[in-house]
A = this chain, B = another copy of it.
């Protein structure tokens, strides 16, 4: 009953989890320039299964914006002329109307520019917030902005950036063809897919296999949940979170040796891990039917002895 799979506009909608800015070494505030282009693109959820995504910069999650408390962000958002819908951006790091959404509404072909100061530290979600914002987020329009504290974050050997969200379609999970968005399934909070980086098993041996580390090293994971509706019970199979900042709130004391941490829709977490032995660490939402049946998995490859 689905239409045939469509020709894809892009080979991979998943963001590379290692393609992020490095730690900030500055000790004074600066201006961070950010350019976001909204794109509506056909891509594969899994082989033979296509969907018309909406994205920031043609990737899910949108790029990690990296700042330091006191910085000014100079943000330009453009809506690609071939798009069909208005878009904007609400950043949870911003105090202001709609978190910036009011001043960034762009129609296809349009560009807007705002500047704002980041005044409190943490890892914050951003997302499109036009009417039917749940549809835009479900289609892929979310990402994260990191606001480092003045002293920075402790040094680690590796940093990875991932995002979970859920997709509501008129097809069955895994059914070949082009999946159309299903507003009624979204109202019921009954997703067809629950995904990390927008594709089934996007990050690991079957996709981008870039989360690599060695035994004895440390890694920090920046994890954003777009939702629009489900939270993640975020767990590293074969390991434990050494330190967790619940909901991305850096100024609180971290919780230590946490097996599973809640990451709410419209929220994020900063968590670190390490391993004394080589293994694949499988990052999952421990609501395990989402892993076994709906595609929610990302793998860190730990090499060593």
- A residues sitting closer than 8 Å to B (CB atoms) are 90, 92-99, 120-122, 124-125, 129, 131-134, 137, 173, 183, 186-190, 227-231, 233, 235, 237-240, 246-253, 255-262, 264-268, 275-277, 279-280, 286-294
The one of B97, B251, B279, B291 that contacts A97, using a Cβ cutoff of 8 Å: B279
User: In the bound complex, what is the Cα–Cα distance between A169 and B162 (angstroms)?
Assistant: 34
A97 B252 Cβ-Cβ under 8 A: no
Interchain nearest-CB distance for A105 vs B (Å): 15
Please tell me if the beta carbons of A266 and B97 are within 8 angstroms of each other in the complex: no
Question: When A249-B255, A252-B255, A260-B266 are in contact, do A277 and B189 touch as well, CB less than 8 Å?
Answer: no
Contact B277 A95 (CB under 8 A): yes
In the assembled complex, the CB of A96 is this many whole angstroms from the nearest CB of chain B, namely: 6
The distance in angstroms between the C-alpha atoms of A129 and B129, with both chains bound, is 39
Please name the residue on chain B nearest to A278 by beta carbon. Answer: B97
Among A96, A137, A264, A276, the most chain B Cβ lie within 10 Å of the Cβ of A264
A241 to chain B, nearest CB (A): 9
Further 7 A-B residue pairs, CB within 8 A, beyond A92-B235, A99-B238, A267-B286: A95-B277, A121-B257, A173-B187, A186-B289, A228-B288, A229-B289, A265-B288
Q: How far is the CB of A154 from chain B (nearest CB, A)?
A: 17
Residue of B nearest to A122 (CB): B257
The residue in A132, A258, A262 that gathers the most chain B C-beta atoms within 10 A of its C-beta is: A258
Kindly state the separation between the CA atoms of A286 and B250 in the bound complex, as whole angstroms.
20
CB–CB A97/B280 < 8 A:
yes
A288 vs B228: C-alpha distance when bound (angstroms): 6
Residues on B with beta carbons closer than 8 Å to the beta carbon of A122: 257-259
Give chain B residues whose Cβ lies under 8 Å from the Cβ of A229. 287-290
What residue in chain B is nearest A230 (Cβ atoms)? Answer: B287
A188 and B290 CA atoms in complex are apart in Å by: 10
Closest chain-B Cβ to A275's Cβ sits at a distance in Å of: 6
